[in-house]
């Protein structure tokens, strides 16, 4: 639950977000445009409003499920001992005091799970469409990443610079094509392309490690070399690169760091 004090009465209706997505998906599938009636309906669905006038800022509301990762599927997950499942939940509102996102990482042992609930408890109002994940299945693939260019030792940076062919637009470049993969991932490196390299907090005597990257899109025009083989025929298809429908931060990447010693210690979030 999110028990932090903030407005919870205003936003978009979760049911509306989902209905609008279903409608738009259908138009895309059929290659048609909405008729007048459907256009009116979409207007209603996209409308923000005070949909929960009785809910007070201090009332706790259920968090929204965002992701679920099994250690058996994701080799780099590095779950704390006794755990083999990571569940990620967040508050569907983005205006918490002193921090934007209220995110919870829940580590579990699947052996301890009894009868799972069939219906997720959900709060009917969300801040905006981009806070709501569309259910999708993960197909994890292991890739090798290399440190963000500005964090390489100076001699390596100079080598990369000399190697880069700036005259050929189609030539691979370290930054987009070879170092840090775009899209959702576990582990790997963070891209500091907005602020430049910043300080990663130290916990238990060591810099925190990157656990999870949540990304608005799986690839863009600049980093298509990372597009999975299975998706290559869909590169130009609308929405192919945004399967989760989540949009994070202004720049599109949210990095969740955890303590290198114990991932159950408090996490740190960085957006770029
Ligand atoms: Zn909240
Ligand atoms: Zn720690």
3-state per-residue secondary structure call for 38-50: HHHHHHHHHCCEE
* pLDDT in the model for residue 76: 85
Contacts made by residues 136-145, CB under 8 angstroms, sequence distance 24+: 136/243, 136/244, 138/69, 138/73, 138/184, 139/228, 139/230, 140/73, 140/74, 140/75, 140/186, 141/228, 142/75, 142/76, 143/181, 143/188, 143/226, 145/179, 145/180, 145/181, 145/188, 145/189
| DSSP 8-state code for residue 24 | H
Q: How far is the CA of 72 from the centre of ligand 2 (A)?
A: 24
pTM for this model (two decimals) = 0.94
For residue 27, what pLDDT band results from cuts at 50, 70 and 90?
very high
Q: How far is the CA of 263 from the centre of ligand 1 (A)?
A: 22
Task: Please report, for residues 128, 192, 239, 246, 247, the alpha-carbon distance to residue 184 in angstroms, rounded to integers and kept in the order given.
Answer: 20, 16, 15, 11, 12
Q: Which ligand is nearest to the Cα of residue 123, counting in written order?
A: 1
* pLDDT in the model for residue 254: 96
What is the residue-averaged pLDDT of the chain? 94
Is the CB of residue 184 less than 8 Å from the CB of residue 213?
yes
Q: How far is the CA of 115 from the centre of ligand 1 (A)?
A: 27
For ion ligand 2, residues whose CB falls within 5 Å: 203-204, 259, 261, 265
Residues contacting residue 98 through CB under 8 Å, at least 6 positions apart: none
In sequence order, what DSSP letters do the residues of 146-209 get, joined into one string? ---GGGS-HHHHHHHHHH--TT-TTS--IIIIIIS--SSEESS----TTT-S-PPPEETTEE-E
Each domain of the chain, given as residue ranges in start order, spans 1-135, 136-272
- Quick check: 1 pLDDT over 90? yes
pLDDT digits 0-9 by tens, 190-229? 999 999 999 999 999 999 999 999 999 999 888 888 999 8
- Quick check: 22 pLDDT over 80? yes
Residues contacting residue 96 through CB under 8 Å, at least 6 positions apart: 4, 6, 102
* pLDDT in the model for residue 100: 80
Q: How far is the CA of 210 from the centre of ligand 1 (A)?
A: 23
* pLDDT in the model for residue 236: 84
Our CA angle for 180, 244, 263, nearest 5°, is 60
Is the CB of residue 234 less than 8 Å from the CB of residue 49?
no
- Quick check: 250 pLDDT over 90? no
Is the CB of residue 132 less than 8 Å from the CB of residue 244?
no
**Choice among 17-26, 37-46, 49-58, 136-145 with the minimum mean pLDDT:** 136-145
Q: How far is the CA of 15 from the centre of ligand 2 (A)?
A: 39
* pLDDT in the model for residue 47: 97
pLDDT digits 0-9 by tens, 101-159? 999 999 999 999 899 888 989 999 999 999 999 998 888 899 999 999 999 999 999 99
Rounded to whole angstroms, the Cα distance separating 4 from 133 reads 22
In the three-class reduction of DSSP (H, G, I as helix; E, B as strand; rest coil), residue 19 is classed as: helix
Q: How far is the CA of 29 from the centre of ligand 2 (A)?
A: 48
* pLDDT in the model for residue 186: 96
Q: How far is the CA of 257 from the centre of ligand 2 (A)?
A: 11
Q: How far is the CA of 262 from the centre of ligand 2 (A)?
A: 5
Average pLDDT over residues 253-269: 96
Q: How far is the CA of 141 from the centre of ligand 1 (A)?
A: 33
Q: How far is the CA of 214 from the centre of ligand 2 (A)?
A: 22
pLDDT digits 0-9 by tens, 47-106? 999 999 999 999 999 999 999 999 999 988 999 999 999 999 999 999 898 778 999 999
* pLDDT in the model for residue 86: 97
The backbone torsions φ and ψ at residue 125, rounded to the nearest 5 degrees and listed phi first, read -115, 140
Rounded to whole angstroms, the Cα distance separating 72 from 81 reads 14
Q: How far is the CA of 124 from the centre of ligand 1 (A)?
A: 13
Q: Which ligand is nearest to the Cα of residue 268, counting in written order?
A: 2
- Quick check: 233 pLDDT over 90? yes
In the three-class reduction of DSSP (H, G, I as helix; E, B as strand; rest coil), residue 70 is classed as: strand
Our CA angle for 78, 80, 83, nearest 5°, is 100
Q: Which ligand is nearest to the Cα of residue 202, counting in written order?
A: 2
Q: How far is the CA of 60 from the centre of ligand 2 (A)?
A: 28
* pLDDT in the model for residue 222: 84
């Amino acid at each position: 639950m999110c028990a932090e004090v903030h407005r919870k009465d205003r936003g978009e209706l979760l049911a509306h977000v989902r209905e609008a997505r279903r409608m738009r998906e259908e138009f895309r599938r059929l290659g048609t445009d909405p008729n007048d009636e459907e256009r009116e309906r979409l207007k209603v669905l996209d409308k923000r409003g005070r949909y929960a006038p009785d809910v007070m800022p201090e009332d706790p509301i259920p968090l929204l499920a965002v992701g679920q990762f099994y250690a058996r599927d994701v080799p780099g997950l590095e779950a704390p001992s006794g755990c083999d499942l990571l569940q990620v939940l967040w508050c569907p509102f983005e205006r918490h005091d002193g921090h934007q996102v209220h995110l919870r990482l829940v580590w579990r042992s699947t052996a301890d799970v009894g009868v799972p609930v069939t219906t997720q408890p959900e709060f009917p109002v969300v801040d905006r469409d981009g806070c709501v994940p569309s259910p999708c299945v993960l197909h994890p693939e292991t890739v090798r990443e290399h440190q963000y260019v500005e964090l390489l030792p100076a001699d390596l940076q100079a080598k990369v610079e000399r190697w880069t062919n700036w005259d050929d637009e189609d030539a691979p470049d370290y930054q987009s094509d070879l170092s840090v993969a775009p899209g959702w991932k576990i582990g790997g490196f963070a891209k500091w392309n907005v602020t430049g390299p910043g300080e990663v907090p130290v916990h238990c005597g060591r810099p925190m490690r990157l656990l999870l990257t949540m990304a608005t899109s799986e690839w863009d025009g600049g980093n298509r070399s990372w597009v999975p083989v299975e998706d290559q025929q869909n590169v130009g298809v609308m929405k192919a690169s945004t399967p989760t429908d989540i949009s994070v931060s202004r720049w599109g990447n949210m990095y969740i760091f955890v303590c290198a010693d114990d991932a159950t210690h408090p996490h740190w979030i960085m957006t770029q």
